Structures are given as C-alpha cells and as structure tokens.
Chains A and B, each alone.
Chain A
Amino acid sequence: MQILKNKTNIDFIGKRKPALFLSTVLNLAIIVGIAAFGFNFGVDFAGGTVVEVKFDHPITAEEVRERAEKGGLPDVSVQNIGAAEENTFLLRMGGVTQLNEESGAKGKEALEALGGVRNVYSDLPNGIIRFRAAQPMDSDAIKKAVESAGIGVQEVRDLGEAQGGTGYDYQVVASGMADRVFAALNAGLEKPDFEQRRVDYVGPQVGKQLRNRGIMALLYSMVAILIYVAFRFDFKFGPGALLSMVHDVIMVAGYYLVSRREFNLTAIAALLTVVGYSVNDTIVIYDRIREDMAKYKGKPFAEVINIAINDTLGRTILTSGTTALSLIGLLIFGVGEIFDFAMAMLVGIVVGVYSTIYIASPLTIWLDERAAAKEARLRASGNMDHQQPNAA
C-alpha cells in the first residue's frame, strides 16, 4: 500500500510567491489580533482563582452563574468543560483571597469601630489583616467585625502582648476566593449538590513571572535549534528553518487567539513542542536537498529543491499523519487543557508541513540566488576581491 502511488512532480517552488504572500498576511493578521484582542490568559498567567465543580444533576452554565450571583458573587465567569451531561464547570475570578483594597478598607473601618484598635494593615498578597489593640480582644468579636465587611475569615490569630506592653497583636487570615465560591453556590441549600474537584490559585506576581519565563523558553529553544541547524547544515539553511519555526509558532498562537481557549502553561508547552517538532519536517527535506545537490550537480538550485520536496512528500505526509493519528485519543477523551494541547499540536503538525515546503525551502533558494547575484555583480564590476567568500 502506498499513499502516493507514482512519483509526484508538483511545481511547489513555482507557486512560492502567492503562498508566501498568503502566509505573510495570515501571520500579520494574527500578530495584530494578539496586539488588539490579546489571549484569553488562564490563571497561570493572569493570576486569580479557578475552581472546578461537578454537579450531581443537569444544570446549565447560565444557571450556575445565576446561582453564584445570587450568592453574592457578580464577577465570576462560568465555563462548561467536558461533555454537557457531565455537568462540570470551571468558575474563574480575579483575586486570590477575599481581601482586596475595597473590602480591606471596609474591614479596617469595622475593626476600628470596635475601639482601641490601631495600626490596621491589610497585607493584600497574603490576604492577612494585621492590627494592634489596646486591650486583649475576643477572637469571635474580631471575626464578626471583619465578616461584616464582606471578608470571609478563616482564622483569627492571637499573637499575644506586643513587646514593651504597647498593645496586643492580632492577625486575621481571610478565606480564599474558592471558599467564597463554594459558599455562594451553596447558599440556601441543605447540603451541596456539587463536588469540589479542583482549585487553582496563582498570585499576580507569579503569573507575570511564569509568562516571562514561558516567552524566554520559546526564544531560547528557537535560538538553540537554529544554532544546531546552522552547525549541521550549511548556514544558508538557517534562516529558512528559523522563519518556518516562527511561522508555526504564530499559527499555533493563532489557534489560541481565534478559539479563545485559555492560554496557559500547557499552551506554552504546546508551542515549545511544536517548535521542536515542526523543524523535523524541515530537516527531512534539508537532508534530501543536500543529498540531491550532490546527485544533480549542474541543475539549478530551485529545481533540485523541487525534486527533493516531491521525493519526500509521501513520507512528510506519513510522518505527520502518524503523529496526528496518535493525538486522536487525546482529542476525544481529553478535556480542558489537554484537549487544547492536542488541538494545538494538530495545528502545529499541519502548518509544519506547509511551512517546510512553502517557507523554509523558498527562503533557502532566495538566499542562494541573492548570494549568486552578489557574486555576479562583483565579477561584473571587475572587483576581484579574494576575501569575498564564495557563496556557492
């Protein structure tokens, strides 16, 4: 059995200009789209809280949102995950604890109203309110005061008398957003009709750090692969490989942009894997071009490349096809980020084949032609500078 029975003889190189034009337009559109609309950053990068709940009866995302709203949580985004009959939802909101600037100010007022309280300080990143009181206070009273400001209290810490007898120190640890979500969903119910399956908090600073690290990882790996390709092949193969990698990464980023799926750490992993994988096809063809260059000496470079692409077309389709085949299970059974990962890989595999043929190879030709033209120009001008390297 064979996919391509007879040897193909498609003029890929002849159609390189329209293809290149199309790719450039698409890529620019994606970059503009990212700048204009941005990714739908997940909590990994944006910071915030995500909880996953599974209900034991059929319910729609809209109904879940209404319930959260009734329970006093207006700014929750609710998203269905997995099959509809699984009744599983992701609830996402900004902030890690119930303590924010607004509620912290209210909490401060409420505490000061108790009398003798001073030095109230809201430690927002950690969700802790610290203060000093003139006399020992009752933990329950403190808890009530803070809760009246709309901040759930997890714990009141009695730190004892401050040194020098200047007062008594207390800390109030605010509950996390997750608790508030569960409480809101639970409001008015005897016992919860849902199961708490997963909680993710990511602090805002960590989110920024993770995002920067992800971008750096992408750049590092592209540079490292470029160095390897330049080292293993001729230098003129380098730019083609690099540009096709960049193309593939932008296209896969385009998947996350257009689908509005969450862009998170797994998405970075998908992009990195695409970088490592898409260059594989490029290498298969480069290897063949190098082999054919020795075999067909005298033929124009563009023609040699066309032969190489046609010769390897069958195996390029096959290798990409088998990899895509292995992803089918993940596409069917994967939910959430794993589904997105498989989908992004699929996009990466398809555009990887395309970019090898229409970007990596033409760019190599173009560089070759430019070098040849430069050499010819030098000869014509009679400049016989021997330091000029021979680009052939």
Chain B
Amino acid sequence: MDRGWWWKFGLIVAVTLGSIWFLIPTYYSLVVLDRDQRNNLAVLEERMPAWAPPAKYRLNLGLDLQGGIHMVMRVDTKTALQKRTERRAQQIVNYVNDKKLGEVTADTDPEKLEVTLTAKDPGTMDAIQKEVLATFTDFKEVSRSGASLVLVQDESQANVFRTEAVDQAMLVIRRRIDKWGVAEVDVRKLGADSIQISLPGRSNAEQAKELVGTTAQLEFRMVDDSNPQFFAQLLQATPPPAGSEITLTTEGGFPQLQAPTREAIIEYTKDKVPENRVVLTECIANPVKKNECTSYRSYLLDKNVPLTGESLASADANISQLNEPEVNISFDPAGAREFERLTEQGVGRRMAIVLDENVQTAPNINEKISGGSARITMGRMGGRTFEEWLGEAQTLALVLKAGALPAPVTVGEIRQVGASLGDELIRKGGLAAVLGLGLVILFMAIYYKASGLIADLALVLNGLLILAGLAFFNATLTLPGIAGFVLTLGVAVDANVLINERIREELGHGKSARAAVDQGYDRAFWTIFDSHVTALISAFILFFTGTGPVRGFATTLIIGLLASLFTSITVTRVIMTYFVHGRNAKIVSV
C-alpha cells in the first residue's frame, strides 16, 4: 500500500467520524429532548456532552414536518413609489411657489414615475428648471419643450426607496409578531419585494392577517400625568395576582408597573383605569439581543388618538449642534396644525409615540411647536456609548417612518401544518426512505456481491454525510427533502453501477483484477463527473428559484450529489484497491 492510499484512508475515517460527531446535536434535539424543547438551543446545549459541536449545528425540521406557519408577505413597492412621486411633485410645486420662481402645475404619470411641470409663463421655465434640478436631486430631466419640463425619478434613488420600503415593512411585521409573544420567529427578506415569516409550532393561520393592513399603526397620544402616583396607588390598592411578577419601578423617572410580559400588565390594569384612559406598555429591550424584550413598563394614556402616522411626512436621525443625537420629524399641513394645537395645550406634559400598541418613547413637550417640524431629543446619554445613543435615534426614525410611509403589504401565501400531521409525515417519510434504500442496498449486494457490499458501505456513508452536511449548514429537513434524500442516494449508487459494469467489461477483455479495477475507475470517472454536474446544475437552479419545502429538497440534492462524488468514487476505490493491491486478490467479486 503506498502513501497516497493511507492518506485517503485516513481522510475517509476522519470524514466518517466527523459526520457522526456533527450529528450529535441533531440526535439530541430530535431523539433525546421532548418535542416542545426541540428548538430550545439553551436546553440542548446543556444536555449534550461538553465535547459535542455547538448546538446551532443541528438539522432543523421544516415547518411541514414539525407543524407551524410559513407565510410570505408581499410589499407593494410600486404603489408606494407612485405615492412618493405624487408627494414629491406636490413638494416641487410648493418649492417653486415659495421661492417665487413662477407659477407651475404638476402632472404625474404613475406608470413611468414621471412628473410633468408646466409653467404659466414660459419665460420663467429656464430658472425653474435650474433650481428644481439642483434641489430635487432624486429627479432627472427627461425632456423639455417650451413651458413644460418632464422629470423622472432617478432609478438608483427609486431602488433605495424600494429597499427601504421593504425594510420598513419588515420592521412593522416583526413588531406586530412580537406582540404575539412567539419564542422563535424567523423574519427574512425573500427576493426584492417579499418577506418570509416562519413561526414553528403555531397553528392559527388566521392570526397572520393581523400583519397586514397599512394604516394608523403609528399614533401620537398624550400621557396622563395628572396623577403621577397612579400606578403606585393602584398597586397598593389591589395586589397583583400571584405569579404575574408585576413590580413597581421608577427607573423611567416616575412610578411605572413592570412585568416580564405585556399581557400581565394589560390583564392586571383592565377595568382599573379612569374613563377615557388606556394602559399601554413599553418594551424594555434586551441589551444584547435588541429584538427581545426583557420586560414591559406601563403608561397611562389618553384614549383619544389626536394624531396618527398618516400625518407624518418625514423622520430622520441627525446629530444636533450640541453633538447629541436627535430625530427630526415633520408633518403634513393638516398634521402640523393638529400638532401645534396639541403642543400648545400640552406644554409640560408628555406625548407618547405609539407603534402598534407599543409605546416607543414619550418625550416631554417643552414648548408650543408650530410649523409642523419637531425635534425629539434622545435624553441623557447615561451608560450608553455614543454609537448606541445614535443607534437609538436611528431606530426611532425608522420606527416613525415605518408607521408613516408604509408600502401596502398583502398576504402572498400562508401555509400551516398541524403538529400531528407533521409527526405522521415524519413517520411515513422515514418508512419510505428505509424501504427504498433497503431495496437498493439489497439489490447491490446480490447483484455485485462483494463489490456491491462496498458500494452499500459508501451509500451509508453518503447518507451520513448528507445529514451531517444539512446539520452543518443549519439547513432544514422538509418532506420533499426526504424525497430528495432518497432520490439522491438512488442516483449516487448509479456511479457504482457504472464503475462495476466497467470493471466487468475490462475483466471480460481478459485483464487482470488489478488492471480491471484501475481502468474501471479511470474510464468511468468522467462519465460520473459529467452526470453529477448536470444534476447539480438543475439542483442549484431549483435552489435559487424555489421557496420553502422545495428549497429543502434542492439543498438535500446538492449536498447529496457533492457527497456522492466522494463516497461513490474515492471511498469505494480505496476499499477496492486494498483488496486488489494490498491483499493481492486475483478475483474481483463483481
């Protein structure tokens, strides 16, 4: 046996042991843990031996196998962009009028995102054109003839806007889901304009429709500060129910209720607030994982909602002259009037900014604000770094925009599978895989004898590698994925059929066992390689175009085909070589 052989042999042993090692978290999560703990990484980490791989490297069950909801929401960026064009057109007209450059009217073409400006006096158009193009840099000139100027939204700016619209919609959806108190939720972008949401273990698909609906999630409500001790007195008068963990905190600057869940506070204060008042909560974010709330604090607010996000025109995070982060907001004319009235009446009080029933912040009103623009300062820096401080301002700006400029969101698809069906599918899928692969293994052993057994060994290793590969990429095993697993192994064994047939043929030509094996592998290699590449091409295309369970199928196929190149060729050859070279076997059992 030469050195090359020993290297390969060592590699095979290492790969085998490595893939078994990588399957430890999967084994613990699916077999050892109870089903409701299956996805709990902390418990998994605790139960596994210390030498096991990190818990995140485990094979997830797809929503079709463990039960849950898969949703795709579509963000209608086209409508949002059309609305934006109309808004900008109005702003251009206002700008021209304000600057006294002349008198213009604007027409918008919603399909082409074009704005046609027509001046009353053609003589003023040159100056208007120059000023408008210099100020509204998100527009480009299309054509100009006499008194009319056609502008179009700059494509790159429009793309930025589209991306932002989807990001904002994602933020809104995430916050609405957070309200349900779901432990594991996966919200991610899908393509250019869709959002994919996975909720394992959930079963109420109807609830999903709460996520759509586009108006008035953002509200400005006055905080009731007439009795700052309201919550303290409430807690004294009525002790909270046992187990609700409601406590009193003054960390927010005045007495507030604090509890680990939103429901606890809402439940406790129900029917205990004065008329025309309502209690809402603020999420105190986990300092490490910003998307989680460690606790919730209560606010007593006016029931009346004087101002909603519909009136908000813009919100941006900036750094003030004092080098402090702040958020600048501006309202549309109607909103500006209302905001002026509110701030005039409410000097000294606080105004809560509420997004989807969650209080985001409640700044003090320092003075009457007219003109429709306002600044929200971010309070004291406290223990935060400047980046964190600025980050909070940026998040707030995004939250405000999310309520203010939502692109319409529609339900694309909802797929919900009950947990009992999932269990049944796992059982049936498992049986199907065992039966199909058992038949293949049996056939190979009978038809090719010893060489067939070697191919079977490679097949088992291939199966192990697929599972370990899926676990390594933290991929998801779906029902079509099980079909993919079976099919891949059925295809993988083809390579060994080709090799063994070739060896038989070479033996038929009167070659020695050693020469027949060597030539069999050499001649069959490119055929096998080519057929794997073509299969991989279609698998990759399926991966990039497919969604949900079908994508799971493609993932399995890709990992399986790559693994098969190794197991069907290298692994079987190393074993065959051991017999014909090392043991000097004169007869090949094919």
Interface set of A (CB-CB < 8 Å, partner B): 1-2, 52, 96-97, 125-128, 130, 154-155, 157, 159-161, 163-164, 169, 171, 173, 175-176, 178-179, 195-203, 205-206, 210, 213-214, 216-217, 220-221, 224-225, 228-229, 232, 265-266, 268-269, 272-273, 275-277, 279-280, 283-284, 287, 291, 311, 314-315, 318-319, 321-330, 332-335, 337-338, 341-342, 345
Contact = CB atoms under 8 A, between A and B. Distances in A.
Contacts of B417: 197-198
B530 A224 contact: no
A322 B438 CA distance: 11
Given A201-B411, A277-B535, A329-B435, A322 B306 contact: no
Contacts of A178: 205-206
Nearest 7 CB-CB pairings of A with B:
A326-B490, A276-B538, A329-B435, A329-B436, A329-B432, A160-B305, A280-B531
Contact of A287 (B420, B440, B530, B538): B530
Nearest to A157: B213
A130 B310 CA distance: 15
Interface string B545-570: 11111100110010000000000000
Contacts of A200: 413-416
The A interface, classified by DSSP as helix, strand, loop or mixed, is helix
Interface in B328-378: 334-335, 338
A179 B412 CA distance: 18
Contacts of B501: 314-315, 318
Given A126-B209, A196-B418, A214-B545, A284 B498 contact: yes
Given A197-B417, A266-B550, A328-B435, A322 B487 contact: no
Contacts of A155: 210
Nearest to A164: B334
Contacts of A327: 436, 486-487, 490
Interface stretch (B42-50, B154-162, B229-237, B443-451): B443-451
Given A125-B411, A164-B334, A277 B216 contact: no
Given A164-B334, A201-B415, 7 more contacts: A159-B216, A169-B215, A203-B413, A269-B542, A284-B498, A326-B487, A329-B434
Contacts of B480: 266, 269, 337-338, 341
A96 B429 CA distance: 30
Contacts of B557: 273
B206 A175 contact: yes
Contacts of B334: 163-164
Contacts of A126: 209, 212-213, 410-411
Contacts of B418: 195-198
Given A126-B411, A163-B307, A163-B334, A176 B206 contact: yes
B494 A322 contact: yes
Contacts of B444: 322
With most chain A CB atoms within 10 A of its CB, the pick from B72, B219, B494, B554 is B494
Contact of B490 (A269, A276, A291, A322): A322
B273 interface: no
Contacts, number: 258
Contact of A335 (B428, B443, B526, B536): B428
A128 B411 contact: no
A121 to B, nearest CB: 11
B553 A269 contact: yes
Range, interface on chain B: 35 or more
B538 A160 contact: no
Contacts of B305: 159-161
A83 to B, nearest CB: 11
Contacts of A197: 417-418, 420-421
Interface in B387-415: 410-415
Contact of A333 (B429, B437, B546): B429
Interface of B: 72, 74, 205-206, 209-210, 212-213, 215-216, 219, 304-308, 310-311, 334-335, 338, 410-418, 420-421, 428-429, 431-440, 443-444, 446-447, 479-480, 482-483, 486-487, 489-491, 493-494, 497-498, 501, 504-505, 523, 526-527, 530-531, 533-539, 541-542, 545-550, 553-554, 557
Contacts of B446: 1
B555 to A, nearest CB: 12
Nearest to A320: B494
A1 B447 contact: yes
Contact of B74 (A199, A203, A213): A203
B498 A319 contact: yes
Contacts of B443: 321-322, 325
Given A283-B527, A329-B432, A265 B447 contact: no
A203 B494 contact: no
Contacts of A127: 209, 411
A228 B209 CA distance: 46
A37 to B, nearest CB: 25
A338 B480 CA distance: 7
25 contacts: A163-B306, A163-B335, A164-B338, A176-B209, A178-B205, A198-B421, A201-B414, A206-B72, A206-B74, A221-B538, A224-B541, A225-B537, A228-B533, A266-B549, A268-B546, A269-B542, A275-B538, A279-B531, A280-B535, A284-B531, A315-B501, A329-B431, A329-B486, A338-B479, A338-B480
With most chain A CB atoms within 10 A of its CB, the pick from B414, B431, B436 is B436
Given A126-B410, A198-B417, A326 B213 contact: no
Contact of B415 (A2, A195, A199): A199
B432 A330 contact: yes
B534 A279 contact: yes
B279 to A, nearest CB: 16
B198 to A, nearest CB: 15
B550 A269 contact: yes
A322 B436 contact: no
A125 B213 contact: no
Given A221-B541, A228-B537, A206 B210 contact: no
Given A1-B447, A280-B534, A333 B335 contact: no
B170 to A, nearest CB: 17
A353 B377 CA distance: 73
Contacts of A229: 534
A35 to B, nearest CB: 24
A332 B431 CA distance: 9
A163 B308 contact: yes
Given A198-B421, A269-B480, A225 B534 contact: yes
Contacts of B486: 326-327, 329-330
B338 A338 contact: no
B216 A273 contact: no
B367 to A, nearest CB: 22
B439 A328 contact: yes
Contacts of B435: 328-329, 332-333
With most chain B CB atoms within 10 A of its CB, the pick from A128, A205, A315 is A315
Given A163-B335, A328-B439, A283 B213 contact: no
A216 B306 CA distance: 50
Given A161-B304, A178-B206, A276-B538, A334 B432 contact: yes
Contact of B538 (A225, A321, A328, A333): A225
A202 B306 CA distance: 38
A329 B441 CA distance: 13
A96 B428 contact: no
B440 A333 contact: no
Given A265-B546, A275-B538, A323 B428 contact: no
A322 B494 CA distance: 7
Given A176-B205, A314-B501, A326-B436, A276 B535 contact: yes
B312 to A, nearest CB: 11
A321 B437 CA distance: 13
A334 B428 contact: yes
A202 B73 CA distance: 10
B545 A198 contact: no
A332 B205 CA distance: 31
